[in-house]
Structure 1
Amino acid sequence: MMSETQIHVIARQMVERHGFEAIAQAAQIAQDCERKGDAEDAREWRHIEDAMKMMRGPHQS
């Protein structure tokens, strides 16, 4: 299990490299893990996805 710090480092790196499309990439990786039956990795990727959503901030209308 990754630490909270590791989660946020990975999230920040992904956003820096891919922009906020990285959120969709993390979701896809989580789904792939779920299909393979790897619940722990899926949970970590969902956590990374959530961290990126927090970085993005609230939606503007």
Structure 2
Amino acid sequence: MISEIQVHVIARQMFEKHGLEAIAQAAQNAQACENTGDSEEAREWRHIEDAMKMMRGPHQS
């Protein structure tokens, strides 16, 4: 399991490089891991996805 700091470092790097597409990419990675039965890896990708969503901030209306 990766540390909280690592999660945020990975999330920030992905978000800076890919923008909002990075959130979808993390979700796809999590889904792929779930499909192969790797629940621990999937949980980490979901955590990274959540961290990027927090970076994105609230939705604008």
For residues 47 and 2 of structure 1, the distance between their equivalents in structure 2, rounded to whole angstroms, comes to 10
Q: For each residue in 1:19-51, what CA deviation from the matched residue of structure 2 results, as whole angstroms up to 9, or x when unmatched?
A: 111000000000000000000000000000000
For residues 14 and 20 of structure 1, the distance between their equivalents in structure 2, rounded to whole angstroms, comes to 9
For residues 36 and 29 of structure 2, the distance between their equivalents in structure 1, rounded to whole angstroms, comes to 11
The TM-score with structure 2 as length reference comes to 0.99
Provide the residue aligned with 2:54 in structure 1.
54
Q: Cα RMSD over matched residues?
A: 0.3
Structure 2: any 5+ residue segments left out of the alignment? none
How many pairs were matched up? 61
Structure 1: any 5+ residue segments left out of the alignment? none
Q: Map 1:1-61 to 2 at 5 A.
A: 1-61=1-61
Q: Name segments (4+ residues, structure 1) moved above 2 Å.
A: none
